[in-house]
Amino acid sequence: MGDMRQVYETIIYEMDIKTRRCRPIVFRDGSKQLDSIRINSYLTLPYKNGLLVFNAKYGLFEIKNGSLFADLVLPIKKNFSRIVLKEDRFLFLRNFDRNGSLPPNFTFENINGKWIKIPHPLDSLEWKVMLYNKKDQTHWVGLRYELIHFDKNFRIIKTYNLEDWYNGSIINMQIDNGGNLWFINDLQQIVRLDITTGIFTAMSEIDGYQKQYFDWVSPGAIDISGNLYFGGRDLIKESGGLDRIDPERYSSDITSFVYLHSLSINKKPFPLAIGVNFLEDLSLRYNQNNVSIETGIIDYYSMGKGYIRYKLEGTAKNEDWQFATAYNTIRYEGLPQGSYRLIMQASNSSNEFNSPQKILTFTISPAFWSTWWFRIPVGICLVVLFYGLIRWRLHQKFRRQLEHWENDKQLAELQQQKTKLEMQALRAQMNPHFIFNSLNSINMFILENNRLAASEYLSKFSKLIRLILQNSEEVLIPLGRELEALQLYLELESLRFDNKFEYKITLADELDTTILKVPPLIIQPYAENSIWHGLMHKKEKGHLEIEVYADNQTLFYKITDDGIGRKKTAELKAGSTSIHKSMGMRITTDRLAMLNQQNKTSITITDLVLPDGSPGGTEVLIKIPEHHD
């Protein structure tokens, strides 16, 4: 091959295509003609229908279209190993010395026809090669161990390194018409990067590639048909060649499929009624949980060069994609019970996984002792056994206690029965008293020929009688039933007295009327007394308010009216021949007195006085202990 300088340096000529006549280009600095200059082909760039040529001794020269002169436009005496031009405006120079590439690099911008040095992020990077993609205005920059994709403002889009299967230093790179990156590197490879999937694919002999030597001056180009070219040479063997690549052959068409070769369970072939490749669903027992599947790829184009990826999804296991060669054995050991989906997919010759997914669904049934139909009966038996043991021990304990407490209990039961009988006798006195008053009301409506009122009154009266009879059978009743009977009574009295008074029942929010137990018919006699002796003698409409609340394990009934007061009532009784005797209040007082023998109860009656000193009504406060169900 001759002198090494002839390989990397040469004299530049202009050739007339028609006549094949060549004339040398004259280099000059202004009007001064320079001696014959040799230039490096990799430091020469097309520029505005002309050329930019760099020489380490003088600097950057420009050869304009149709000119035989190369004029010095940027004096800079320095060695550079790469020059890259972007949009005929920005010039990137990669620094170089005998010990390797050492930043800082240089960046220039053409402003009004002059190249001005500007700061740039690439100045501090030890980049090897750079390519500007005019279509998307992005930059590809190759470093020793990284490939970086920048946007038009040199913000990083993506970085590729050894973890992405990027290795070797890039010597030259080109962009195909599909936007994918092709490059040659110092590992003597031609590599394709699919920018969509991020997969690197190195060409092999199957693709027609014959390995050759690439060095730092190896050229690259693309023609109008989209074919790519990379040149290589071996100076020692004095050989070389030009690789042409048709990128369309490496498109994303579906060309490969996964097939299943064999299936083993617990390291033994699994018998099937159909071919294993047609298997879609599989049912296994709980101890058949070691699965091995041999796979392969059907792809005549790549001839076994592709890869498969697979992942297992299921109730007990979810994994990311695993990658393997075309012919591989997929193994899973000790799988727990559950349902699984094994998803497999083959790549094409460009290592793109665009083929149809092959899915094998299988279920590993649980052992019988792990099933719900076994665990539930066993659990019930254990609960029953434990419950029986607890009951037996409690029974033994209570039996011993009852032997010691028998005498005291018998005495307490006799006293309780005596009290219960006395209470029932008092309620029996009270119920006829209330029924008598209610029947008088119904009789009055009938005499007045007020059928509608009599019917309404009679309906509510019958419901109230039923509640009274029901409540009379019990010592304690739910507070809700007591208030329901009180509500019916007040409605009957309001109807009977033509709505001459208004009433309101207020219940504290924290009280649960279903579990709180009270003696029956405690409030009603005092509400009756307020109506008959306090409110009925008022000229204007009266008001009756009943509050129920609790404090410190004590239940409070507060009955308040704005009637004429006890003093005025006494005066009216003294001058009346017909006196209404409140037997219900006397009976209730006796009942509370009897309850007080066992629990703390009290009744407080307060005469209310208005600001002007006149009577303002009566307030009755009844306190009884709380009883819960």
State how far the Cα of 356 lies from the Cα of 353, in Å rounded to an integer: 9
Helix (H, G, I), strand (E, B) or coil at 133: strand
pLDDT at residue 579, rounded to an integer: 46
Give per-residue pLDDT as tens, 263-288: 888 888 887 767 777 787 888 888 88
Mean pLDDT of 221-243: 85
Give per-residue pLDDT as tens, 385-428: 888 888 888 888 877 777 777 666 666 665 665 555 455 544 54
Residue 450 has pLDDT above 50, yes or no: yes
pLDDT-derived band of residue 170, with 50, 70 and 90 as boundaries? very high
Mean pLDDT of 460-467: 83
Highest mean pLDDT among 131-145, 324-338, 388-402: 131-145
Please report the domains of the chain, with CATH numbers, ordered by start residue: 257-370 (2.60.40.10), 382-628 (3.30.565.10)
pLDDT at residue 106, rounded to an integer: 93
Pair of tokens at residue 411: 């005495």
Residue 1 has pLDDT above 50, yes or no: no
Give the closest residue to 475 by CA, choosing from 407, 511, 422.
422
pLDDT at residue 117, rounded to an integer: 94
State how far the Cα of 243 lies from the Cα of 212, in Å rounded to an integer: 9
Give the ranges where 448-558 is alpha helix by DSSP (H): 451-471, 479-496, 524-530
pLDDT at residue 447, rounded to an integer: 76
Describe the strand order of the beta sheet including 516-518 as a list of residue ranges. Answer: 477-478, 516-518, 627-628
Highest mean pLDDT among 171-180, 240-249, 331-340, 473-482: 171-180
Mean pLDDT of 616-625: 92
User: How many C-beta neighbours within 10 Å does residue 246 have?
Assistant: 12
Give the closest residue to 532 by CA, choosing from 457, 462, 456, 524.
524
* Mean pLDDT, all residues of the chain: 82
Highest mean pLDDT among 63-72, 266-275, 413-422, 576-585: 63-72
Mean pLDDT of 592-598: 63
pLDDT-derived band of residue 22, with 50, 70 and 90 as boundaries? very high
Residue 582 has pLDDT above 70, yes or no: no
Residue with tokens 């609960």: 383
pLDDT-derived band of residue 120, with 50, 70 and 90 as boundaries? very high
Residue 202 has pLDDT above 80, yes or no: yes
Collect all residues with Cβ–Cβ distance below 8 Å to 435 and sequence separation of at least 6: 465, 468
DSSP secondary structure string for all residues of 108-124: EEEETTEEEE---GGGG
Residue bearing the bigger pLDDT, 2 or 207: 207
- pTM, two decimals, is 0.45
State how far the Cα of 608 lies from the Cα of 619, in Å rounded to an integer: 7
pLDDT at residue 58, rounded to an integer: 93
Collect all residues with Cβ–Cβ distance below 8 Å to 591 and sequence separation of at least 6: 423, 426, 427, 519, 522
Give the closest residue to 220 by CA, choosing from 170, 252, 184.
184
Q: Is 628 left (phi over 0), alpha (psi -120 to 50) or beta?
A: beta
pLDDT at residue 2, rounded to an integer: 43
Report phi then psi at 482, rounded to 5.
-65, -45
